[in-house]
Amino acid sequence: MRIEVDPERCCAAGMCVLSAPEVFDQHPDDGEVVLLDPAPPPELHAAVREAALLCPATAIALTEEP
C-alpha cells in the first residue's frame, strides 16, 4: 500500500489521526494532515483504509500494491 495526501484538500477534521495515528498526524499550526508513513506495514492497512474512507475532504489517496 502506498499513501498520498493532498494538504490543499485537507479540512483538518482529524479523522485520519483518530483512525491511524501511526500513519497520520496533524500540523500544530493549521491542523492539516501530515503523512508519517507513506508505505505502512500490512497490519495497519485496515486502519488506513478506514481513515481514507472517513476523510470528509477525500484528501487521502491509496494505491494497493500486490
Report how far residue 58's alpha carbon sits from residue 10's, in angstroms, rounded to the nearest whole number: 8
Q: What CATH code is carried by the domain that includes residue 30?
A: 3.30.70.20
What domain range is 39 assigned to?
A: 2-63
pLDDT band for position 9 (cuts 50, 70, 90): very high
Q: Once rounded to an integer, what is the mean pLDDT over residues 10-15?
A: 96
- The whole-number pLDDT of residue 65 equals 78
Q: What is the pLDDT of residues 15-55, one digit of tens each?
A: 999 999 999 999 999 999 999 999 999 999 999 999 999 99
Mean pLDDT in residue range 5-10 = 95
Q: How many independent structural domains does the chain possess?
A: 1
> How far is Cα 8 from Cα 51, in angstroms, rounded to an integer?
17
Look up the pTM and report it. 0.93
Give the Cα separation of 37 and 44 in Å (integer): 10
